[in-house]
Structure 1
Amino acid sequence: MLRQRVVRKFPQLFRCFSNIVQNRFSGKIAVITGSTQGIGLETARRFAQEGAKVIISSRKQKNVDDALKTLHNEGLDVKGLVCHVSKQEDRRRLLYEAEQLGGIDIIFQNAGANPIPGPLIDCTESLWDKIFDTNLKASFFLVKESLPLMKQRQGGSIIFCSSIGAYVPNSKIGVYGCSKTALLGLTKSMALEFAEYNIRVNCVAPGYIKTRFGEVLLKEDDTRRPMKRLGSPHHVSGVIAFLASDDADYITGESITIAGGYVTRL
């Protein structure tokens, strides 16, 4: 993408230009899980470009190191550490890092799992537990454990990452789709309870996006997508940034599909 080439070649110039044009998250602290590639990485980049202090994470140290190198070379203020969101001790380390910065204003819970694509009926109990532990249980507990740090900032924005699979079942990712459907319910329930703390809770549901995870599904017939093209991570990060911004200050409990009109055929 042209913007990314410019950023890599002239990082300081681009950062100054971004600050002039848009600086919506100046002084904000954003925690983004599953953020060393694809949608998560692009979202971390966008928040940092718009002034936020960003903490990225991944299950693998090498992935964290590579992502940090990329973002630092673009002149962006980003920290990173290893965090497997299903492990409480890893979540605690992540939240401790945020506490050292002063709290949390924004959470984008992007980390997810779908280890072995396949039909729903072939799912084993251990595979079911792994998918739901990462995609649903960890999402709930990460947010629950973050609540004191968000209260400290007197409010904030939480965004979960669901999937078009929550709306349109796909036999390749049956259990994954079930877990992402559950996230839609978690979004509504948390939005209801967290409103009193001035914390908004929303969800995005990406469709077919050009990411490593999306490669499993990219052989789907393009005619099922009215726009007849795939999305890119920046299409999703733009919606996430909107939901985290003051422009969405009266939006909570919502789930937004980013799928090029895919669900219009339902």
Structure 2
Amino acid sequence: MKQFIIVALLFVAFSARAQTFQKDWNKVIRYENEGRIKSANSETEKILKKATAHNNHVQIVKCFFYKSKFMHVLEENAQVKILSNLNRIKEKSSIPVQAILNTVYAKCLTSYVAQNSYKLYTRKDSRDSTSNFLLWSVKDFQKEIAQAYSKSLEHDEVLKKTSLEKFEQIFDFINADEFKHETVYEYLLRENIEYHGRQANNNGTSIDNKILFATTDAFIPIDFSFIDNEEFRQTLELYQKLEAVNPSLRNRLDRIIFCYSRAQGKDIEY
């Protein structure tokens, strides 16, 4: 249970690339490798103060990730405090950072549900009466997770103008060139697609495969309000938004692969 935050943050790289903070992070990494977690945490606190003074949101977020990792070693029942810290940092951050942290928050909650479902399914809904997630039911978590993903796409005009490269210090990307040409908005659209796509199915709605596998120009203007399954409909609408901002072959193929996996055995027509 203690590892749920760390598992949820696997997509974040704990590398020290920023030149301004390079020596500071080297100390943290050295202490951690030596097993001196208290010293590593203390050095991270110093970096946090420095980053706060410089209003460096990326470094502040990086400090949060490290402190969360150390907190699991140094403190009992760290989950509540970690999420409280996350929400506090999110409120004080820039719009792009807030959006990214909303997905982090959603992933944390998703991981917790996966590891504790045997307990959660016996609880009654309690979201309206408490902010303590340790008392939430599965439905409470699902509602909170969905809201967090939805919030991550707010202020889309700002996110479309923000390069993901600005956050390379806290992200681990295999394809560096692709990373440099992607916006925060595109990244968050893919995160939302992954979330809704996992729950999507096409049971009960007849759809012409020519629509699902259409070219980008033909796919974008389609009205999918006739689809019964909400998650399937939302996923298709998210793909429309993704291809509208970046009509790349990769994005079209991703959409086609997703639609094919949900085709419910229907013949594919081109």
Where on the TM-score scale, by shorter chain, does this alignment land: which range? 0.3 to 0.5
Of Structure 1 and Structure 2, which has the larger fraction of its residues in strand? 1
Q: TM-score, normalised by structure 2?
A: 0.34
TM-score normalized by the length of structure 1: 0.34
